[in-house]
Structure 1
Amino acid sequence: MRIDETVLPGAYRIVPDRIEDERGHFYEAARHSLLTSETGMEFTVRQVNNSVSRRGTLRGVHCNDVPPDASKLVTCVRGSILDFMVDLRVGSPSFGRHVMTRLDPADGIALYLPGGIGHAFLALEDGACVNYLLSAEYVPGAMVDVDALDPELALPWGLTGPPVRSAKDAAAPSLAEAVASGRLPRYTPPEELNRP
């Protein structure tokens, strides 16, 4: 597999090597030792989540503020999605910037999001299933939301009509409001992080 750092410091795109034969194909989705050596961060799975969405569903932008180092490994295991990683770390050199990736099971691309990187996606097909491997268990009240349609973020969703969103996501604050609330995580330079 190839693990490439994106323009968001500490956020990676993982592209697997596929082995194909008459049965179909096989690939490693992640390998602990390689992920740790490439990212410089220890990733231990503490919780696994799946979301299933109908076409046109827009989820996010979400990140956690507790624990601040909570990271995730995201893949699409059925259907396809348009995925966005958004840097919500105050003080980051890429604050407010995003990385867009189309995810589906055929390509097997995964995304590694360190703490403070927001996540959002648009389901491109009915039944799109997204798998999240999380380095921390869910903490009630720890999620920070930002409006995925905030013009300041300018995420290129390519929408032709209103998306399906939860009431919570539709009422999420703008990026400016989230900054003013003081709840967004702060950026820690890589040299200051606890490394394995």
Structure 2
Amino acid sequence: MQIEKTNLDGCFLLKPRVFEDERGSFFETFNQQVFEQTTGLNVNFVQDNQSISKYGALRGIHLQTGDHSQAKLVRVIQGEVLDVAVDLRKDSPSFGKSYQVKLNHKNNYQLFIPKGFGHGFVTLSKQAIFAYKCDAYYHKASEAGIIYNDPTLNINWQIPAEELLLSPKDQVLPTLKKANWL
């Protein structure tokens, strides 16, 4: 597995080595030892989640705050998404910056998103199955987020705004400047 640094401190792109033959393919989705040796991070994943989304579904930009903050390792099982990580750690040199990458079932890339980051994705294919590991359990009272179209972040979601599908909750998230939990 190849692990690359991104432009955001503590955020890594994982590229697995895929073995293919006439039967199909095989790859290791995560190896704790390789991850720790390459990144210097010790992460203990405790919860796995999966979503199925149709074209244009935008989920985000979400995070858990405080003691319930989560690091995530995200990937696509089927389809394609544009995945976005945003550094929301006030003391970080990359605060307010974002990183985006296309994750799909062909490249099998994964993105490690550290605690204190916002995360979102939009489905680019007809449908996508999205899976992720978390190092802390979900805690409803610790939910937070930033509006997907925040002018400060200026994220290009690569889909026309009129084609985006958003939950009512995601439509009313605050901007970065108005987030009272920061």
TM-score range, shorter chain: over 0.9
CA shift at 1:150, angstroms?
A: 0.8
**Amino acid paired to 2:26:** F
Aligned pairs for 1:96-135 (under 5 A) are 96-135=96-135
Higher alpha-carbon deviation: 104-113 or 123-132 = 123-132
- d(CA) in 2 for partners of 1:157 and 1:101? 11
Unaligned stretches of 5+ in structure 2? none
Aligned 8 A contact 1:73 1:134 in 2: yes
Q: Which residue of 1 aligns with 2:169?
A: 168
Q: Which residue of 1 aligns with 2:86?
A: 86
CA RMSD of aligned residues (A): 1.2
- d(CA) in 1 for partners of 2:90 and 2:75? 26
Q: Which residue of 2 aligns with 1:156?
A: 156
CA shift at 1:161, angstroms?
A: 3.7
**Amino acid paired to 2:156:** P
1:21 aligns with 2:6: no
Q: Which residue of 2 aligns with 1:138?
A: 138
Q: Matched residue pairs, number?
A: 181
- d(CA) in 2 for partners of 1:90 and 1:121? 22
**Amino acid paired to 2:95:** F
**Amino acid paired to 2:176:** L
SS in 2 for 1:176: coil
Aligned pairs for 1:48-67 (under 5 A) are 48-67=48-67
**Amino acid paired to 2:171:** A
SS in 1 for 2:177: helix
**Amino acid paired to 2:88:** L
Unaligned stretches of 5+ in structure 1? 185-196
CA shift at 1:149, angstroms?
A: 0.7
Bigger strand fraction:
2
Please give the per-residue CA displacement for 1:104-126, whole angstroms capped at 9, x wherever unaligned: 11111001111011111110123
Runs of 4+ in structure 1 over 3 Å off: none
Q: Compute the TM-score of the two structures, normalised by the length of structure 2.
A: 0.95
Aligned pairs for 1:30-69 (under 5 A) are 30-67=30-67
Aligned 8 A contact 1:68 1:116 in 2: no
Q: Compute the TM-score of the two structures, normalised by the length of structure 1.
A: 0.88
Q: Which residue of 1 aligns with 2:178?
A: 177
- d(CA) in 2 for partners of 1:38 and 1:48? 23
CA shift at 1:83, angstroms?
A: 0.6
**Amino acid paired to 2:135:** S
- d(CA) in 2 for partners of 1:159 and 1:59? 13
**Amino acid paired to 2:98:** H
